[in-house]
A and B are shown apart, each in its own frame.
Chain A
């Protein structure tokens, strides 16, 4: 399957600072990238959907000014957690899909995830 690389795999930051997480599709063009958040022993919760060259669409309850998403190219999306607080500590996962063929859906490929700890 296709490869999605997410970086960093873990990060520890001080409360009040910002953290950027990168998501790259290495061998395909990702028209659409998604960012999920996962708490321990829970499912993946979709935070936002981003299409290359346009603004991200955020799910209800997700603060767009706190979780900044940029999808500048077909192979790169970034999530910046601004003014991080301990409650933002979580496992963040990106996924990528190539949806250029609108006739059918295709699988989503996931990054390795980023463990964020805010102290």
Chain B
């Protein structure tokens, strides 16, 4: 299978601070990207997506930035809350494929 991640990195932030979660993708042909949130024992939940013809997209409290030059994706969460604690995955898709390939993932821990 593809996209095996080992030993999730952890980001610890204080409640109310902004969080930035980064992701490097591998396929320069990928043209669609999604951020997912996964809570323990549950399936991934859609947060926000972005297509390759955009550099930035904003949602409610979240912003995704795409830098195609260095193949980098980031998720910014404003005013992080305890409920944001979870593992966050980026996923990439190539127009020529229907598969979503997941990145390694980052565990976000929010402290009061």
Q: A residues within 8 Å of B by Cβ?
A: 1, 4, 6, 32, 34, 36-37, 41-47, 49, 59-62, 91, 93, 95, 97, 99, 104-105, 107-113, 115
Contact = CB atoms under 8 A, between A and B. Distances in A.
- Could you tell me the dominant secondary structure of chain B's interface residues? loop
Nearest to B105: A43
B43 interface: yes
Interface stretch (B4-12, B14-22, B59-67): B4-12
Given A41-B7, A93-B44, A107-B46, A32 B98 contact: yes
Interface residues of B, number: 32
A59 B100 CA distance: 12
Given A49-B99, A111-B43, 10 more contacts: A41-B8, A43-B103, A44-B102, A45-B3, A45-B4, A59-B1, A95-B43, A104-B51, A107-B46, A112-B42
A43 B102 contact: yes
A93 B3 contact: no
B44 A110 contact: yes
Nearest to A10: B41
